[in-house]
Amino acid sequence: MQIAARESQGGTILDLSGDIDLAHSPAMRKALLGEIREKRTPKVFLNLKNVRYIDSSGIASLVEGLKASREIGSRLILYSLSNTVREVMQLSRLQKIFEIYENEEQALSS
């Protein structure tokens, strides 16, 4: 899994790629919570277009990030979910608790 960060629209975009599984979800969790809790970034965008696989530990990290963002009044925004990620979101019935957009343009203008 790879994580790249870039600044945009008053927030930070984290471009994630590869597999988010038990081996790699700790790195994503660290990057995500670093943006939210330490940098207190007002908007954190997660670009999931190139995520091939996500397991329950990855989903748990996203939920933890969402809770952290709500605690400090910031926003966690997901976009460009691959079919695999969308399927797992649906299985866990979490798609309605996250802010999810079809693409980067929609996410940034939200």
Partner 1 sequence: MKSSNGKGRKASRQFQADLLLKLEMRSNPEALCLVRATLERTAENLHFHSAERRAIVRSVDEALANVMRHAYEGKSDLPIVVTFRRLYGQNQPKSCAGIEILLEDQGVAVDPAKLKGRALEDIRPGGLGLHFMRQSMDEVEFSRKDGKNQLRMVKYLAIPKTASGSEGE
Give the binding site for partner 1 (CB under 8 A). 19, 21-23, 53, 55-57, 59-61, 63-64, 67, 84, 87-88, 91-94, 97
Spatial CB neighbours of 10, under 8 Å, sequence gap ≥ 6: 42, 43
* Smallest separation, CB 30 to partner 1 (Å): 14
Residue 6 vs 30, nearer CB to partner 1: 30
Task: Identify whether the C-beta of residue 12 lies closer than 8 Å to the C-beta of residue 44.
Answer: yes
Residue 11 vs 58, nearer CB to partner 1: 58
Task: Identify whether the C-beta of residue 3 lies closer than 8 Å to the C-beta of residue 29.
Answer: no
